[in-house]
Structures are given as structure tokens and as C-alpha cells.
Amino acid sequence: MAAERDRIEAFLNVTGFDVALDSMALSAGSAPEMLGVDEDKFGSDWERLADEVFDTSVMHDMALEILEQTLTDNALTHAVGFYASDLGQRLVEVENQTHMSEDETKELEGQKLVADMVASGDPRLEMFKRMNNAIDASGSSLRAIQEIQFRFLMAAATAGVVELRMDPDDLRLMFKAQEPELLPILRRSALAGAAYTYRAFSDDDLAAYVAALEEPEMKQVYELLNAVQYEIMANRFEVLAGRMTELHPGQDI
């Protein structure tokens, strides 16, 4: 078991997924918005609580435990084989930087890059679309985000942090009704993120990366990593909801 865990540790490092896990701590800032309140209303202890709940070592251990049970040897070997290459490590370097950068900066700059590509008919735009489709082949990102929000709100209601004005079934129906509006927004954001992250890479490098991502083994790896990331995030938001009673009285939502 220890040897297997060591291999998974190496896998997390070489693929950059360890930094992606650490960056999830930044998502704690969206919790007050989900509840419809200003972060300042939670008091000066908000940052401390968020740091405790989204502790990177806790999230890292959770990822290791899940991957020990789910990551096959073939998938691990395949992913490491690509990301350990020169191109793979250059990609991981910029992906790590993007994970830890301000969302607003990369969104605005990425949108400008996309607009320029659309105006000039740049074929790189199609490569970025293929890249995002390969990374989220099952289209799970929107459903996962909704599930995270649902679990967070349910946990907050159970803890008495908020009082829900609709039952769980109605809440899910509301999320479902929002999908046609949210899906294009999510796709545009992902496209802008890719354009920003890989802006310095050549067309040949991008083509090689897209080809690697579209291989069945790599799609399986990303499907698993996406699931792990979303499950850990949902878990942390549930824990955060339970502990928010330490910060402020109940609020209607």
C-alpha cells in the first residue's frame, strides 16, 4: 500500500494535479455569494475558518485515498508517460501558474485572445475547443458545480445557517432550468481560460497536446480526476456549511 501511495504521490506531482487541489482553497471565497450575503458579514474569522476547512493537506490526503481505490496502473502509467515529457512538464508549469492566478485576470485576457482569434479566423481556436471537450468529455462540469451548490445549501440549511424557501426537489428543478443559460457561459469561460493558459505555446505543441488528451486512456484519467476534484470540493463546502454557525446567526435565503 505504501509503494502504491508513493506512485500516486508522484503522479499528482508530475501531472500538476497536486497544485490543482491546492487551488481549490481559493473557491472558498464563493461561499458567501452562494448564500446571498456579503463576505464581510461573516466577521474577521471568515478567512481563518476557510483556511481550516480547505486545508491543503486534508484535501491532498482525501485525493490519495480516493485514487488508491480508483486509479488503475495503466491509466497512471499512461498519464505520467506524457506529462513527464518535455512538453508535458512545460504544460504543467503554465497550468500550475494559472491555477493559482486571479480568475478575473485570466478571464479578461483570455476573452480578448478569443475575440482576436475569432476576428482573424485563427485555427488555434478550434484546437482549444477540442482540448476542453477532451478534458471534460462527459460534460460533467456544469452538473458537478450544481451538485456542489446543492450539497452546500442543504448542509447550510441543516446546520441552521440559512432557511431555505424551497424544498430540495424544487431547488434541483431551479438548477435544471438554469442550465441552458449557464452552459454557454461555462464553455466561454473554459475557452478563455485555455487561450490564456496556453497563449505562448506553438501550434505544433498545441496539436500534440490535443492529440494526447483525445486518447481514450487520457480521457479516462481526466474523467477520474474531475470526479475526485468535484467530490473533494463538495465535501469541503459541506464541512464549511456546518462550521459557519461559529461565525454568524441564521439568514433567510
User: Three-state DSSP class for 249?
Assistant: coil
Helices (H), 71-123: 73-83, 86-99, 103-120
Question: Where residue 252 falls among pLDDT bands split at 50, 70, 90?
Answer: very low
The tens digit of pLDDT for each residue in 101-153 reads 767 788 999 999 999 999 999 999 999 999 999 998 777 889 899 999 999 99
Per-residue confidence (pLDDT) for residue 42, from 0 to 100: 67
Q: Which domain holds residue 51?
A: 2-252
Q: Above 50 in pLDDT, residue 1?
A: no
Q: Above 90 in pLDDT, residue 239?
A: yes
Q: Above 90 in pLDDT, residue 13?
A: yes
Per-residue confidence (pLDDT) for residue 250, from 0 to 100: 43
User: Where in the chain does DSSP place strands (E)?
Assistant: 162-163, 251-252
Query: What are the distances in angstroms from CA 77 to CA 47, 176, 218?
Result: 39, 38, 10
Report pTM. 0.89
Q: How many domains does the chain have?
A: 1
